[in-house]
A and B are shown apart, each in its own frame.
Chain A
């Protein structure tokens, strides 16, 4: 097993039998949408049919250690992103517990910034939201814009983000989040976007962040980027762990499963 030497290594994230349940209010199904039906439901005290529970994570346990890069793989809807959000403390766990050293930061491609504002102002806003001081932000802005490479084709950093291509805005978001040293960095698909050149750069940055004694979790559908950055992988399927171990072994099993 990958963690036989665990007494000497320092754990940074401990997930102890965690369950995550989403409660989804959806627009009414046919036949239940009339005001009369809603009224009847209120009178009889039935659970609204528009409220559905989705049990996304069904009891997951593992320990991640300092300096590790852990890849999370699994088919669509297997609970990878949900698990990351739960580790980041952004989604409350229903049962079980998640412990972390410091504050894990989630870096996702769907991290919303303000689309009507120029990239440069979004950088400032994002840095402040991560808790940097204005002086730190000032010294970092140029570095972040340069790293993201959005200015390679003209002065895009002063244009509103709604004019960016999806790859450009994903690159900018990655660059913002990667500018800060994190104890635990959670990356959701971010490396899959962007061109080959940016991918190489971001993989280098992930390695640097790891070297600074943090732990990195990476969710990606690109087996290549998992292989390149992570030596340990966890395979999630329908909210449960199917395999946990060295990336090569887990990926082999996973490939066999998806080809079936």
Chain B
């Protein structure tokens, strides 16, 4: 018996030629973007049930279970209320500072938790990736879904807080839905982007807390946006005011509250928000798709 078997040594055609003749496709060849999107759509049930499973397995061992989805934002808001509302009693020239602050904290937290979970979407699921075939974008998308579900609970808590501090319900509250959608698209793109980064270089995970902290201070979460226009000029101000998180937070405050200082007129903010959601949403998806076949490595 020969040490290595070369099939078709008698017919004399190369293996690549044999594969072509029988219409076999090379393993590990990436699908085209439209095909990939179709595959992903076919896996939508998997994404949904994976997201459910993820919530169930992280909260499964706790006594309160899914109730934590409401409890976590409630405790979060209480902490900020105690520090800024009771201890420091900050106002910063905003009429109703506690709801103003809570809106910022909650909206920023939505993106921050998505990024934190998204960076490990690939690297912490190696077992699943090496065992089964499915469009890998399912994983960061499922994580985005989990955070969207958490955020819906948080939004309910937020609305109660805003009402409790004397803000009226107006027609503008309807704008919450499109803002929420735009931010979700933005988050999905971001989750896919950082998922690929995190799978290539594990070091990014160490940097995320610092990046997120800088981003938070640049998003006027803890103080009014007018702080920036008072102190900064020129390109620095332009950079700060183009910050997508600042835009989402501003829009949400504008929708929920009366008389809030804004970084720019509302229509400008809306255009910027749509632009950011489109660019980051599609950009993240494209970037993730480009790396599709390399995710099993490492």
Measured between beta carbons, the chain A residues less than 8 angstroms from B131 are 90, 106-108, 110-112
Measured between beta carbons, the chain B residues less than 8 angstroms from A15 are 15
- Set A90, A121, A129, A234: member contacting B46, Cβ < 8 A: A129
Q: Tell me the interface secondary structure of chain A in the complex.
A: mixed
Would A97 and B16 count as touching, CB distance under 8 A?
Answer: yes
Would B24 and A100 count as touching, CB distance under 8 A?
Answer: yes
Query: How distant is the Cα of A101 from the Cα of B18 in the complex, in angstroms?
Result: 12
Which residues of chain B (95-120) have a CB below 8 Å from chain A? Answer: none
Would A131 and B19 count as touching, CB distance under 8 A?
Answer: no
Query: How distant is the Cα of A13 from the Cα of B14 in the complex, in angstroms?
Result: 14
B60 at the A interface (CB under 8 A)? yes
Segment at the B interface, from A2-10, A28-36, A205-213, A217-225: A2-10
B127 at the A interface (CB under 8 A)? yes
B5 at the A interface (CB under 8 A)? yes
A74-117 vs B, CB cutoff 8 Å, 1 = contact: the mask equals 00000000000111111111000111110111111011111111
A98-B57 contact given A14-B18, A90-B130, CB 8 Å threshold: no
B148-167 vs A, CB cutoff 8 Å, 1 = contact: the mask equals 00000000000000000000
A91-B297 contact given A11-B19, A14-B19, A111-B131, CB 8 Å threshold: yes
- Set B15, B45, B49: member contacting A63, Cβ < 8 A: B15
B27-69 vs A, CB cutoff 8 Å, 1 = contact: the mask equals 1100000000000001101100110011011101100000000
Query: How distant is the Cα of A126 from the Cα of B53 in the complex, in angstroms?
Result: 11
B206-238 vs A, CB cutoff 8 Å, 1 = contact: the mask equals 000000000000000000000000000000000
Would B24 and A99 count as touching, CB distance under 8 A?
Answer: yes
Name, among B43, B60, B125, B133, the residue most crowded by chain A CB atoms within 10 Å (CB to CB): B133
Closest to A104 in B: B27
- Set B4, B49, B50, B57: member contacting A61, Cβ < 8 A: B4
Query: How distant is the Cα of A240 from the Cα of B127 in the complex, in angstroms?
Result: 26
Closest to A24 in B: B298
Would A244 and B53 count as touching, CB distance under 8 A?
Answer: no
Closest to B6 in A: A61
Separation in Å of the A139 CB from the closest CB of chain B?
Answer: 15
Separation in Å of the B13 CB from the closest CB of chain A?
Answer: 10
Would A98 and B26 count as touching, CB distance under 8 A?
Answer: yes
Measured between beta carbons, the chain A residues less than 8 angstroms from B6 are 61
Query: How distant is the Cα of A212 from the Cα of B9 in the complex, in angstroms?
Result: 29
B7 at the A interface (CB under 8 A)? yes
Would A242 and B56 count as touching, CB distance under 8 A?
Answer: no
Query: How distant is the Cα of A103 from the Cα of B43 in the complex, in angstroms?
Result: 16
Measured between beta carbons, the chain B residues less than 8 angstroms from A99 are 15-16, 19, 24-27
Closest to B125 in A: A112
Measured between beta carbons, the chain B residues less than 8 angstroms from A14 are 7, 15, 18-19, 24
A200 at the B interface (CB under 8 A)? no
Would A243 and B1 count as touching, CB distance under 8 A?
Answer: yes
A16-B16 contact given A104-B27, A128-B49, CB 8 Å threshold: yes
A171-215 vs B, CB cutoff 8 Å, 1 = contact: the mask equals 000000000000000000000000000000000000000000000
Separation in Å of the B90 CB from the closest CB of chain A?
Answer: 40
Which residues of A does B touch, CB under 8 Å?
1-4, 6-7, 10-17, 22-23, 25, 60-63, 85-93, 97-101, 103-108, 110-117, 121, 124-126, 128-131, 133-134, 160, 234, 240-245, 249, 253
Q: A3-B8, A63-B15 are in contact. List 9 more A-B contacts (CB 8 A).
A: A13-B24, A16-B14, A16-B16, A61-B5, A91-B296, A99-B27, A100-B25, A100-B27, A129-B134
Instruction: Report, nearest first, the 4 A-B pairs whose CB atoms are least far apart.
Output: A112-B127, A111-B131, A63-B7, A99-B19
17 contacts between A and B (CB under 8 A): A10-B22, A11-B22, A14-B7, A61-B4, A62-B7, A63-B15, A88-B133, A90-B129, A92-B293, A99-B16, A99-B26, A111-B128, A114-B53, A128-B46, A129-B50, A234-B5, A240-B4
